[in-house]
Structure 1
Amino acid sequence: MKQLSVKNVVIVHGAFADASGWEPAYQLLRAHGFNVTLVQNPTSTLQADVDATVAALDRQDGPVVLVGHSWGGTVITQAGVHAKVDSLVYVAAFVPDAGESTLDLVQSAPILEVNGILPPDEKGLVYLDKDKFNATFATGQTKAKSDFMYDSQIPLTVTAFTDKVTVAAWRTKPSYAIMPTDDGTVNPVLERKMYDRAKCNVTEVTGGHTFFMNDPESAVRVILTAAGAM
C-alpha cells in the first residue's frame, strides 16, 4: 500500500440505522492509519444532517474522504462542497443533482418487487416493514442481528425525503461508488443510473444494502483507493 495522501475519513450513515454498523470498517481503517469520524445524523431534515456532517468536517486537520451510505449519499452530495473534502465515496447510496430530492430519485425508477419502506405515519415518520426487513435492508445479516437492527431503527422524516439539495459536490470532487449485487433498498437500476450520471468510479461487490457490516474489507478497499492509498 502506498503512503496515505489523505488520512482523514468521515462516514455518514444512512436512514433507519445509526453509525454503529460501520464499526468493523472503522477498525480496519484505523489499522491502515486513518483518522476516522462517524457522523450521527438526526435524520430529521436534510439541513440537520448536512450541519452535523459539516461540523465533523470542520474538526478535521486536513483533507478528507467523505463517505455516505444510502440516504447519506444525499447528505454528502450537499456537504461535500466543504473545502476539506478531497473525494466522495457513495455506498449503495443516493446521488442527487442540484434541485433534486431523494424522493424525486426514488420516484424516477420502477418500484422494487419487494419494497420494505412503509408509508409515513401520522407524525410524518417513515419506517421499514418488519416482515421485509431482512430481505430488503439487512440482507446477509444473521436473524439475531437483523432483529436488533429492526428494533433499533431510526425513522427518516418525510421532510428529509423531500428536501432538495442545492449543490452537487460530485460535479467538482472525484467520486467513487460501491454497488452491491443484492440491494433490496435502493433500486439497482436507479443506482447504476445515478452513478453513471455522476461519472463515479464504480466497484461492484457481492452482498446486500448493509454489506459493509459483514464485509467491511470491500468498503475499505474503495475508501483506500479514494484516499490515494491503492
Structure 2
Amino acid sequence: MTNLRTLFLSGSVALGTMMAQPGMATADVKNIVLVHGANVDGSTWREVYDRLIAQDFNVTITQLPLTSVADDIAAVRRNLDGQDGPVLLVGHSYGGVVISEAGTDPDVKGLVYVAAFQPDAGESGGALLASTSTEFTPDKLTVFDDGHYLVNEDAFLSLVSNGLSDDDAIFVARSQAMSHTAILAHEAQAAAWNDKPSWSAIATEDRTIAPELQRRMAERAGSTVVEIENGHMLPMTSPDEVAEVIAQAAEAVE
C-alpha cells in the first residue's frame, strides 16, 4: 500500500520523553475508547490510560463480556454512544476483531490495532491464527463443556506474557477472564479499516499472533505501522510506545 509507513521503536527507547506534557495534547479527536483482548480485562490498559489522561484525552475502557463477538460489539457501541464528539477506537489482540466491526459507527474517525487481528469481512480470528504457524495452537487451551476456554498457564506464561515481569505474568495468567470459543470462529461482517484510517502497533516478539501475520494484515489495510520490540501484551509491556502511537493517531485523524 502506498500509505504504508514503517517505524521501528525499540522497547529500550524512552518514548516518554517524547510525549506531550499534561495539558498539551492538541488532537482534534479527544475521545479514545480502548478495547481489551480475549482472556483478560480492561485493567491491561491501565498504564496506557494513565499516559493518555495525562495528555488531556478523554479515555473510556470497554469491559467485554467475551461471550460472543456480537455481545462484545454491543458493549463497545454502548461506550461509543456515551461519547461527546468524534472517537478514536483502539483494540488489542482479539479486540481488533471487535473494533473492525464496531468501528463502522460514524463517530469513529480512526482505528488503532495493538498486536491485534485486523480481519477483513468473512475472516475469523481462528482462521487468521491458523494461517501463520506459531506455537500458540489449540492444544494450549482448556475448553469447558459450555464452550468457554482458558489458556493453559504454562502456555500463557511462555507464549502470551513474554516481556512481562514474572509476577505480572503469573497474575494475568491466573486472573484470566473466561472467553467463549465462539469469538474465535466468528466471521467478521464488516471491516471499518476499508473506509477509515488505521494504525497498527506490531509486537515484533509476539508468540501469539505472529508478527508476520500482523504485518500482512496491516499492509493490506494500508495502516500506518509502528513496530515495537516486545511480546504480545504491548499495553502492559510497552505503555509509553503504545500511548504515543494512539496520541499520534488522534492528532492525525479528522
Which band: TM-score by shorter chain? Answer: over 0.9
Structure 1 partner of 2:135 = 113
2:210 paired with 1:194: no
| 1:190 CA drift (Å) | 1.5
Q: Does 1:91 align with 2:114?
A: yes
1:119 CA displacement: 5.2
Higher deviation after alignment, 71-80 or 193-202? 193-202
Which amino acid in the other structure matches residue 113 of structure 1? E
Quote the residue 2:79 is aligned against.
56
Gaps of 5+ in 2: 1-19
For 1:35, which of 48, 58, 63 is the aligned residue? 58
The one-character-per-residue Cα deviations of 1:172-225 (angstroms, maximum 9, x if unpaired) are 110000001110111222111111111111100111111221321100111111
User: How big is the shift at 1:12?
Assistant: 0.4
RMSD: 1.6
The aligned counterpart of 2:31 is 8
Aligned equivalent of 1:20, options 16, 39, 43: 43
Distance 1:61 1:74 in 2: 24
Say which SS state the counterpart of residue 113 (structure 2) adopts.
strand
Structure-1 separation of matches of 2:252 and 2:118: 24
Aligned residue in 1 for 2:248: 225
Alpha-carbon distance, 1:117 to partner: 3.6
Deviations 1:75-107 (A, max 9, x none): 000000001101000000001111111112122
Measured in 2, the distance between the counterparts of 1:139 and 1:124 equals 27
Structure 1 position 114, deviation (Å)? 5.5
- After TM superposition, the runs of 4+ consecutive aligned structure 1 residues lying more than 3 A away are 113-117
How big is the shift at 1:229?
Answer: 6.3
What amino acid maps onto 1:69 in structure 2?
H
* Kept in 1: contact 2:135–2:159 (CA 8 A): no
Paired with 2:228 and 2:146, the residues of 1 have a C-alpha distance of 37
Whether the aligned pair in 1 keeps the contact of 2:135 and 2:208 (CA below 8 Å) is no
> Normalised by the size of structure 1, how large is the TM-score?
0.94
The residue that corresponds to 1:152 in the other structure is 175
Q: What residue is the counterpart of 1:179 in the other structure?
A: 202
* % identical aligned pairs: 40
Cα displacement string for residues 155-180 of structure 1 (whole angstroms, at most 9, x for unaligned residues): 32111111111111000110000001
Distance 1:113 1:161, change over 3 A: closer
Contact 1:80 1:169 in 2 (8 A): yes
Match of 2:213, as an amino acid?
L
Structure 1, unaligned runs of 5 or more: none
Deviations 1:107-140 (A, max 9, x none): 2222x13648415332212211211222211111
Q: Is contact 2:142–2:152 with CA below 8 Å preserved after alignment? A: no
Q: 1:213 aligns with which of 213, 232, 236?
A: 236
Q: Are positions 1:80 and 2:100 aligned together?
A: no
CA distance in 2, matches of 1:46, 1:162: 9
* Distance in 1 separating the partners of 2:95 and 2:246: 15
